Amino acid sequence: MNSFEEILNKEEFSKQDIITLLSSEGEQKQMLLKKALETKLKYVGNDVHLRGLIEYSNICEKYCLYCGVRNKNNKVIRYTITDQEVLDCARLALKLGYGSIAIQSGERTDEDFINKICFFLKEIKKLSDGKIGITLSCGEQTKETYKRWFDCGAHRYLLRIESSNKELFYRIHPKDDEHNFENRLRCIDDLINLGYQTGTGVMIGLPFQTIDNLADDLIYFKKKNVAMVGMGPFIAHPDTPLWKFKDNIPSNEQRMSMTEKMIGVLRLMMKEINMVAATADQTIDKQGREKAIIAGANVIMPNLTPNRYREEYLIYPDKACVGDKPEECYQCLDLRMRSIKHKILYNAWGDSIAFLKQHKKQENE
């Protein structure tokens, strides 16, 4: 057995082990992905969970340097979906058997926004008779706000760290009171402590990003024992400050390959968590989401947002599936997953096995 195989068969990885795995190419990379798929099938099976995505609003207080809907981008037409349209999206999710939705929005912390999210949580629980699980992705909030939303019915929350490295974080965010690395860490801790199935993640292929940074990201996920992770390739937006560094971004092929390896290594490190096959994967590679699923991911987020709004929620350009209708996406995803010997688990919340086991253990202590 060579040293690479020995690393693959370890139960715990050192940082250097992780760097070695992330540096793999050719036959070694295939060995990693094979091991990751075997591990996923053993611990979470070949089920794929769906989160029907509702992009509620592109109004945002933040002006992150990479984001197409940043506050200071005056080329974006701002929108907020009507209450009726949000509830209709939830009804459509129920009709299609998605079992779970994710409400995503630009970051706002005003009382009107906080109350509106509470309203949606209660109404969606009511109209679905509790059958629809709800994930929120509404950015940094106070612990009190997170608790209000949790008490209203949200049980999963996705807040990407974007980078666990403070220096890199400030290369892609302004360094001011609005964009504070310690506050982002605090938010993730608050979510975990409140009992959310907490998700986080990073962008892969950022300018200035190193394999050392990516290894630290995986170690951070493991240390925090998060319930879900969303990682995908960074795609530069021409109307953002980071665009000027576009020549420092790895190629589509390199970013997709590293995304596969990041998912694969994390599946070996955290065998029972949920991991997202991001839409960005499919944006840079026509088989990107399939590749992510085979590498170890088990969640896909089909878009339920009314089509007339989608062109304005372009965090990055040329986003895949923007023109697809939800019913078309439903059929397409089912066929795509069958083609790689996976199956969509309909009418289920699709909770993290790792989280459920941990929660049960805590109840018994």
Q: Look at 7-21, 117-131, 188-202, 302-316 and tell me which has the smallest mean pLDDT.
A: 302-316
Domains of the chain are 32-364 (3.20.20.70)
pTM score, two decimals?
0.96
H or E segment to which residue 316 belongs:
none
pLDDT in tens, 241-290: 999 999 999 999 999 999 999 999 999 999 999 999 999 999 999 999 99
For the four alpha carbons of 224, 229, 230 and 236, in that order, the dihedral sign comes to positive
Picking from 69, 16, 20, 2, the residue whose alpha carbon sits closest to that of residue 264 is 20
362 pLDDT exceeds 90? no
- How far apart CA 340 and CA 351 sit, in angstroms, is 22
* Beta strand 100-105 pairing with 52-57: parallel
Closest-CA residue to 125 (of 97, 74, 90, 79)? 90
Tokens of 77: 């037409």
Residue 257 CA neighbour count, 13 Å, CB half? 15
> For the residues of 40-87, what is the DSSP string, one character each?
HHHHTTTEEEE-EEEEEE---S---TT-TT-TT-TTS---B--HHHHH
What is the per-residue pLDDT across 198-231, written as a single tens digit (0 to 9) for each?
Answer: 999 999 999 999 999 999 999 999 999 999 999 9
User: Per-residue pLDDT for 135 more than 80?
Assistant: yes
Angle, CA of 260, 217 and 292, to the nearest 5°: 15
pLDDT at 364: 72
Structure confidence by residue, pLDDT tens digits, 66-115: 999 999 899 999 999 999 999 999 999 999 999 999 999 999 999 999 99
